[in-house]
């Protein structure tokens, strides 16, 4: 059975999404947008070219460029209808002048706000979209530790970092919580940590229809436990006043607010901060299936595909206050 | 993977060689070496001792950006090497036209006569496209498969 032909949510997923989107029209909009392809979005690699110059070059090719966010000219949408894979085949892509990236996936780094000379840990870094974005913001200063566990995914990460000219990163291969534990033992600490956690991918239904088939509730519970272990070990690496951005591409509260709730309860010195982004965000859910989370989880940000014509995403920003 | 951060003296040899071949004067940051040939820019700010500690904790798969390869007594720059050092590249440059650039990015050698010999930086307009090796009748292509232009419909 081809995943591309599957366009219906499994009944339990549909039921859960209805609970998250109780307004009937809202839920219908959600279902409608899942049928549409995602926009052709790219991010300019500021390490190699300016937004103005790339825009000029792409327009010369006949592409119509839309820069939807005034303060982020590096984020571009190609309005033309492109053939499959065309974005990845252009000379400008091969030169590393841009990265093909869904807009929702750019939001965690906009939240992290990397600064020059910071030490940043990107714990689940492959395939490298966010690592290259961090390096671009840091102008190749500071140090990024880009870790992942899977050797195949690390090859893709390494290729993407090379194509984008990232020279301030060290790529490591280790299971996330084990890596954090060892880093702590050896006295490492970071200004910022990005934990873009492995997740059930409910937010990627538009671009990855296989998720319709693969989704199951059991994996959500398992992933939730993994995510809690990861966030616990990652928080322990933060310098005083350090920040951690937690993100997933799923809507499941067990993988999102429940993980943040766990972190806030586990660590007295960790506070959640509100997130300001150039897209519509909805607040986190504080009640889910007979569980009540600390009310501060409402400061998390839920991105639904129907709100901004993107994929679905979740993110939260935590700070170590003492 | 054995990673060596080159000492200042070793870095100076690389810079001297790159100066002779391309007029390059200074490499930014540190140079890391993996194996006996591959050179990486590392502009990260972890000290050597921290990098060594990191190697004890987890396999370090890569450090910095691959920019050059030592081949005998010469150095071949990668696409990133030529792009990053383009402001400093003053000699050993071969400029190509649009049609040649497309052929080059498809991984094809350029069959043409040139006065240049050895590794040359390939340039098209403002873009640097890595290095080729010039001999009497051709320039040999080193564009890796993953960076090649696939045949496109016009």
Tokens of A99: 């990265």
For residue B1, the Cα-to-chain-centroid distance in whole angstroms is 20
Q: Does A168 touch chain B (CB under 8 A)?
A: yes
- Averaged pLDDT of chain A: 96
CB contact (8 A) between residue A171 and residue B61: yes
* Tens digits of residue pLDDT in B29-41: 999 999 889 999 9
Q: Does A117 touch chain B (CB under 8 A)?
A: yes
Residue with the larger pLDDT of the pair B115 and A307 = A307
How near does any CA of chain B get to the CA of A70, in Å?
Answer: 28
Contacts of B63 in chain A (CB under 8 A): 169-171
How near does any CA of chain A get to the CA of B118, in Å?
Answer: 23
* Tens digits of residue pLDDT in A94-142: 999 999 999 999 999 999 999 999 999 999 999 999 999 999 999 999 9
What gap in Å lies between CA B80 and CA B86, rounded to an integer?
10
In which band, very low, low, confident or very high, does the pLDDT at B152 lie, cut at 50, 70 and 90?
low
What gap in Å lies between CA B19 and CA B96, rounded to an integer?
22
Q: Can you give the pLDDT at residue A1?
A: 42
CB contact (8 A) between residue A169 and residue B149: no
Query: Strand, coil or helix: what is B101?
Result: helix
Say if CB A122 and CB A172 are below 8 A apart.
no
Below-70 pLDDT ranges, chain A: 1-6
Q: Which of A164, A180, A249, A301 is catalytic?
A: A249
No. of H helices and E strands in chain B?
Answer: 4, 10
Say if CB A215 and CB A199 are below 8 A apart.
no
Q: How far is CA B69 from CA A136, B18, B76, B82, B138, in A?
A: 25, 11, 5, 12, 21
Q: Which of B30, B64, B96 to mutate to test the interface with A (most CBs of A within 10 A)?
A: B64
Q: Can you give the pLDDT at residue A3?
A: 45
Contacts of A173 in chain B (CB under 8 A): 58-59, 61
Instruction: For residue A124, indicate whether it is catalytic.
Output: no
Residues contacting residue B93 through CB under 8 Å, at least 6 positions apart: B22, B120, B121, B122, B123
Say if CB B4 and CB B32 are below 8 A apart.
yes
The model's pTM: 0.96
Please report the beta strands in chain A, taking only residues with DSSP state E, as ranges in sequence order: 40-44, 65-66, 75-78, 98-100, 119-122, 143-148, 169-173, 190-196, 238-248, 270-273, 282-283, 287-288, 291-292, 301-303, 313-320
Bridge partner list, B132: B120, B141
What gap in Å lies between CA A237 and CA A181, rounded to an integer?
9
Contacts of B105 in chain A (CB under 8 A): 91, 94
Mean pLDDT of B131-143: 95
Q: Can you give the pLDDT at residue B154?
A: 41
Q: Is the pLDDT reported for residue B153 higher than 90?
A: no
How near does any CA of chain B get to the CA of A169, in Å?
Answer: 5
What gap in Å lies between CA A22 and CA A25, rounded to an integer?
9
Mean pLDDT of B131-147: 95
Q: What is the full DSSP assignment across A125-178? A: -TT-HHHHHHHHHHTT-SEEEEEES-HHHHHHHHHHHHHTT--SEEEEE--HHH
Tokens of B146: 């993953």
Contacts of B32 in chain A (CB under 8 A): none
């Amino acid at each position: 059975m081809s995943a591309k032909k599957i366009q219906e949510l499994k009944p339990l997923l549909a039921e859960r999404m209805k609970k998250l989107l109780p307004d009937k029209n809202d839920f219908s909009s959600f279902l409608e947008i899942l049928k549409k392809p995602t926009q052709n979005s790219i991010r300019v690699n500021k390490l190699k070219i300016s937004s103005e110059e790339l825009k000029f070059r792409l327009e010369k090719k006949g592409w119509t460029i839309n820069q939807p966010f005034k303060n982020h000219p590096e984020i571009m949408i190609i309005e033309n209808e492109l053939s499959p894979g065309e974005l990845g085949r252009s000379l400008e892509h091969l030169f590393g002048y841009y990265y093909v990236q869904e807009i929702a996936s750019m939001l965690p780094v906009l939240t992290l706000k990397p600064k020059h000379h910071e030490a940043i840990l990107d714990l689940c870094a492959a395939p490298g979209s966010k690592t290259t974005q961090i390096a671009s913001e840091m102008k190749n200063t500071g140090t990024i530790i880009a870790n992942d566990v899977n050797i195949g995914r690390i090859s893709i990460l390494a290729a993407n970092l090379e194509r984008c000219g990232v020279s301030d990163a060290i790529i490591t291969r280790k299971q996330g919580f084990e890596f954090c534990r060892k880093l702590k033992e050896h006295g490492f600490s970071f200004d910022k940590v990005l934990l873009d956690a492995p997740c059930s991918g409910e937010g990627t239904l538009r671009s990855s229809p296989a998720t319709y088939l693969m989704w199951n509730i059991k994996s959500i519970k398992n992933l939730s436990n993994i995510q809690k272990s990861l966030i616990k070990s990652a928080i322990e690496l933060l310098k005083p006043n350090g920040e951690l951005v937690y993100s997933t591409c799923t809507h499941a509260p067990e993988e999102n607010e429940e993980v943040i709730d766990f972190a806030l309860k586990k660590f007295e010195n960790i506070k959640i901060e509100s997130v300001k982004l150039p897209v519509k965000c909805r607040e986190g859910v504080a009640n889910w299936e007979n569980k009540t989370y600390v009310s501060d989880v409402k400061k998390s940000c839920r991105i639904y595909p129907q709100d901004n014509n993107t994929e679905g995403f979740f993110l939260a920003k935590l700070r170590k206050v003492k | 993977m054995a990673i060596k951060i080159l000492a200042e003296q070793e870095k100076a040899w690389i810079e001297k060689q790159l100066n002779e071949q391309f007029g390059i004067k200074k490499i930014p940051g540190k140079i890391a070496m993996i194996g006996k040939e591959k050179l990486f820019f590392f502009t990260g700010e972890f000290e050597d001792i921290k990098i060594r500690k990191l190697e004890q904790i987890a396999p370090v798969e890569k450090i910095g950006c691959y920019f050059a390869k030592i081949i005998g007594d010469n150095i071949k720059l990668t696409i990133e090497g030529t792009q990053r050092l383009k402001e400093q590249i003053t000699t050993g440059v071969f400029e190509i036209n649009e049609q040649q650039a497309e052929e080059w990015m498809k991984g094809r050698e350029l069959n043409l006569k040139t006065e240049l010999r050895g590794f040359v930086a390939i340039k098209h307009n403002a873009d640097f496209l890595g290095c080729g090796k010039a001999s009497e009748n051709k320039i040999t292509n080193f564009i890796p498969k993953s960076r090649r232009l696939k045949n496109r419909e016009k």
